[in-house]
């Protein structure tokens, strides 16, 4: 008020009015500046938040990709391990099978000798002359059978048994009157052999067939 001392009331009122108008303009400028500052601050905060969200999103995507790749590698390793275990198992089984049947060729070479012995032993003989000879043959025959049994070989001697195409080969039929003899092995021409429960030679037989 001191600066307006000495002024007339009319002039005083005019100066005060102008002074108030200036103050209002100054306040308005301050408000505008504050609003602009707020806008700038909010824009900066939004930009920072947007940048942070993008960085987080990228990190999450990268983490997801790494997790998927890790799972893919783990699955591949597990499959490879399972394949290796199965391959070892199959190799072991094949090796065991080979070891079981490795001597099949040797046994097949021995079997005809048994056939010859059986033919010789089955023929008619003068027992007074050939007694010792027969005993010798019987001893050798028994030895061969024993050797074969030790190596897992079994004879197939299916006389009077039912014909089985998995074990026997029919080379001839014999006509019969009794239906009970139908499909029954009435004569064994050549014995069969099995190695470790596997047929390596089928028995050759004659099978009964009902007369027509």
In the chain, what are the domain boundaries?
A: 7-99, 103-151, 154-212
Contact of 187 with 208, CB cutoff 8 Å? no
Buried b (16+ CB within 10 A) or exposed e, 186-199: bebebbbbbbeeeb
**Digit-coded pLDDT (tens) for 60-81:** 887 878 888 878 877 778 888 8
Task: Return the half-sphere exposure (C-beta side, CA atoms, 13 A cut-off) of residue 27.
Answer: 6
Q: Which of these ranges, 79-93, 110-124, 134-148, has the smallest mean pLDDT?
A: 110-124
Q: Which CATH architecture has domain 154-212?
A: Roll (2.30)
Contact of 137 with 115, CB cutoff 8 Å? no
Q: Could you write out the DSSP letters of every residue in 42-110? A: HHHHHHHHHHHHHHHHHHHHHHHHHHHHHHHHHHHHHHHHHHHHHHHHHHHHHHHHHHHHTTHHHHHHH
At 7, the pLDDT band (50, 70, 90 cuts) reads very low
Residue 125 pLDDT exceeds 90: no
pTM, full prediction: 0.49
């Amino acid at each position: 008020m001191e600066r307006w001392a000495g002024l007339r009331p009319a002039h005083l009122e005019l100066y005060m009015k102008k002074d108030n108008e200036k103050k209002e303009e100054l306040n308005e400028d301050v408000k505008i500046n504050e609003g602009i500052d707020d806008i700038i601050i909010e824009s900066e905060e939004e930009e920072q938040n947007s940048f942070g969200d993008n960085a987080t999103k990228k990190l999450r995507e990268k983490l997801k990709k790494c997790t998927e790749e890790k799972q893919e590698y783990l699955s591949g390793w597990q499959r490879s391990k399972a394949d290796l275990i199965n391959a070892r198992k199959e190799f072991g089984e094949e090796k065991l099978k080979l070891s079981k049947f490795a001597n099949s060729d040797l046994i097949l070479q021995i079997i005809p000798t048994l056939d010859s012995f059986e033919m010789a032993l089955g023929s008619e003989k003068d027992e007074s002359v050939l007694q010792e000879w027969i005993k010798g043959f019987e001893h050798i025959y028994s030895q061969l059978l024993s050797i074969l049994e030790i190596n897992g070989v079994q004879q197939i001697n299916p006389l009077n048994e039912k014909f089985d195409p998995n074990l026997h080969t029919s080379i001839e039929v014999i006509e019969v009157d009794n239906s009970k003899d139908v499909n029954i092995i009435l004569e064994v021409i050549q014995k069969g052999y099995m190695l470790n429960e596997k047929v390596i030679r089928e028995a050759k037989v004659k099978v009964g067939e009902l007369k027509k």
